[in-house]
Amino acid sequence: MASVTRAAFGELPSGGGTVEKFQLQSDLLRVDIISWGCTITALEVKDRQGRASDVVLGFAELEGYLQKQPYFGAVIGRVANRIAKGTFKVDGKEYHLAINKEPNSLHGGVRGFDKVLWTPRVLSNGVQFSRISPDGEEGYPGELKVWVTYTLDGGELVVNYRAQASQATPVNLTNHSYFNLAGQGSPNIYDHEVTIEADTYLPVDETLIPIGEVAPVQGTAFDLRKPVELGKHLQDFHLNGFDHNFCLKGSKEKHFCARVHHAASGRVLEVYTTQPGVQFYTGNFLDGTLKGKNGAIYPKHSGFCLETQNWPDAVNQPHFPPVLLRPGEEYDHTTWFKFSVA
């Protein structure tokens, strides 16, 4: 069983409203989520000695989340990841988005779903957040009703995303938590063993837009089908890090996506999803300038993200999985984060 407690987290400037924090607790996990951006601010997991550590990067106060920061723990929308040159067409009509990561549009625009106050509803084992994204918000067509539900079941945090559109629009929702299974504030993730269940990945251009090819991982640095120790793997292949979409099973059913094992603590994170892809990101843009929880600093490679989602720039690449949501349809995807010790 999980318990849910509710408290104020902070006040938005100039009367913007109260941000609340919801604490979900089971015998194995404790998760804090705030109504600003549906953001996971803390996630405590025990190690094999039974000692709990917070394994997500973030801030203790609301001010941290209101500054310029790399989407720590937040829900991303209306479209996660990059849209080439911030333009796309729907039914022959061209739409233009803000270019907030030159020369592309990233993570929903200047004020995406991560930078708005959501309406919460407490459930018996979690919390559901909802909002209506108005027609034209950040340049996207149509009104979008969105529900994001977090529930806790033992060692498993389940995130469900639902949406309904008043006119055809691309939709791609994810959560941008940065994990470090040694505990947030640990200097790097090099001692993490990573497995990703993907036979193919998407090569990208210098602006991180997929070039259109769906490439086999076989014989490349992107073959993570058997566990690799991250630090050694990056060294062996002379990689700056990962920031790539891995192509998962094409089914809408729950499928295994990734497993990360931290041998020293024994902590294991397994990710399952209904989504066709996962962006594996190793915190390459972190630079140690942000002050996190308990005085932590977050240098490059001090956290990793497993952003389950549709493929980047799918709205401009017809052979990628469909990303348009039309009136009368429902967007409905779930991702499971399962924690254990080994």
Please give the positions annotated as active site: 176, 307
Domains contained in the chain, number: 1
Q: Which residues are annotated as a binding site?
A: 81-82, 176-178, 243
| Per-residue buried b or exposed e for 238-257, using 16+ beta carbons within 10 Å of the residue's own CB | eeebbbbbbbbbeeeeeeeb
The pair of structure tokens assigned to 208 is: 């991180």
203 neighbors 211 (Cβ within 8 angstroms): yes
Q: Which residues are annotated as a binding site for beta-D-galactose?
A: 81-82, 176-178, 243
CATH number at residue 144: 2.70.98.10
The tens-digit pLDDT sequence of the chain (342 residues) is 899 999 999 999 999 999 999 999 999 999 999 999 999 999 999 999 999 999 999 999 999 999 999 999 999 999 999 999 999 999 999 999 999 999 999 999 999 999 999 999 999 999 999 999 999 999 999 999 999 999 999 999 999 999 999 999 999 999 999 999 999 999 999 999 999 999 999 999 999 999 999 999 999 999 999 999 999 999 999 999 999 999 998 788 999 999 999 999 999 999 999 999 999 999 999 999 999 999 999 999 999 999 999 999 999 999 999 999 999 999 999 999 999 999
The pair of structure tokens assigned to 155 is: 């060692």
**Spatial separation of the C-alpha atoms in residues 272 and 335, rounded to whole Å:** 6
Which residues span the domain enclosing 287? 1-339
